[in-house]
Structure 1
């Protein structure tokens, strides 16, 4: 099984692209979903956030208020680094665990929706291909304001906190331009899906893994018999 990383900017349409992958039977691991899971009340990251940022960033029912927390960290790079240090280890554990489950289910490849793929760089070494979803800057700003209710100033601040889209595109294997119609986006996505499905890369990975397992089992068997032989001789 190989892993395809999908990233882009906030409000460029990554989630919509992921839905097309799911419609074609391809598992998608969403880092944002994992991020929500690891900060549920009582989880280790929840306690660390409470200790670091106080009660102000929590709702009355104990759940994290992501909007209030976002206001804190997007205005202060040091606070953003502290939050990432708290949550990222648990997030990556969660998505890697999900990837292992899909591997044992026999999927040839999966997609990881990683909004901060290039900003953190942590998953780059595990990815076979990278897809960047992009759109025109004015459209991105408009979508974010409509989706979140942010003012223009706040929306621009959120966008500027991420790596510029043109820099992400430079490091992509595939680019989905999502400034036009839904149909156009779907057609671009399906073309990429067909290319990925035609890849034989997953067979090479399975062969290497199988070879490693065979060597490990053979070594274990050899050591076991050597130990047994030594005991018998003595």
Structure 2
């Protein structure tokens, strides 16, 4: 079974992803793939530098993500230009990792896709979609506490993502991660994994 895992920034999706791994699922993290591609020596870096210039490259040769965020907020075309470089490479790596998981006999493959709803094509690629949801004020508060993030930046990313209503409309299951303890969140994920394994 292929499961699409998504949620807005600050929803707790990454924590949920770790619980799927605990449940024995193969986890394919598209955000981690993107970070790898744009790390120092990453396959996307030559094209990124050619497109945007060396000022978007940090001293170690990786993409300066904070500078890229600022540029994207000031120029609406930046996001599409960056995605045109990254998305084909992410897609190729995702297919490779899926093939490896299938070859290893995995019965659950979880695709962690932050922009699953926005992409328009992921819903057809997976059997079930799990959405991690919480109130927008909570998302902003959580993201604002991350190193290098401001409340303004968190609000800008939130505004660019699908709405909570749009995400929930795509979901086969929703976990409302508002005031859950880590253990309560873990139990919900493990229970859902067991149910979906049984085809329920």
Give the TM-score normalised by the residue count of structure 1: 0.80
Please tell me whether residue 191 in structure 1 is matched to residue 182 in structure 2.
no
Structure 1 CA distance, aligned partners of 2:95 and 2:147? 29
* Partner deviation per Cα, 1:82-108 (whole Å, 9 max, x = no partner): 110110000011011000000010011
- Alpha carbons 2:66, 2:148 under 8 Å: kept: no
Stretch of structure 1 that moved more, 81-90 or 180-189: 180-189
Shift of 1:155: 1.4
Structure of greater Rg? 1
Paired residue for 1:107?
Answer: 106
Consecutive unaligned residues of structure 1, counting only runs of 5 or more, are 201-234
For residues 160-171 of structure 1, the aligned pairs below 5 Å read 160-171=159-170
Shift of 1:74: 3.2
Paired residue for 1:205?
Answer: none
Is the partner of 2:146 in helix, strand or coil?
A: helix
C-alpha RMSD of matched pairs (Å): 1.5
Structure 2 CA distance, aligned partners of 1:40 and 1:9? 23
* Partner deviation per Cα, 1:74-129 (whole Å, 9 max, x = no partner): 33321101110110000011011000000010011210100011111232221000
Structure 1 CA distance, aligned partners of 2:73 and 2:91? 22
Consecutive unaligned residues of structure 2, counting only runs of 5 or more, are none
Paired residue for 1:182?
Answer: 182
Is the partner of 2:191 in helix, strand or coil?
A: helix
Structure (1/2) with the larger helix percentage = 1
Paired residue for 1:158?
Answer: 157
Structure 2 CA distance, aligned partners of 1:194 and 1:76? 45
- Alpha carbons 1:74, 1:157 under 8 Å: kept: yes
Paired residue for 1:20?
Answer: 19
Aligned residues: 199
Instruction: Select the structure with the greater relative contact order (CA < 8 A; seq sep ≥ 6).
Output: 2
Structure 2 CA distance, aligned partners of 1:36 and 1:149? 16
Give the TM-score normalised by the residue count of structure 2: 0.93
Structure 1 CA distance, aligned partners of 2:96 and 2:127? 18
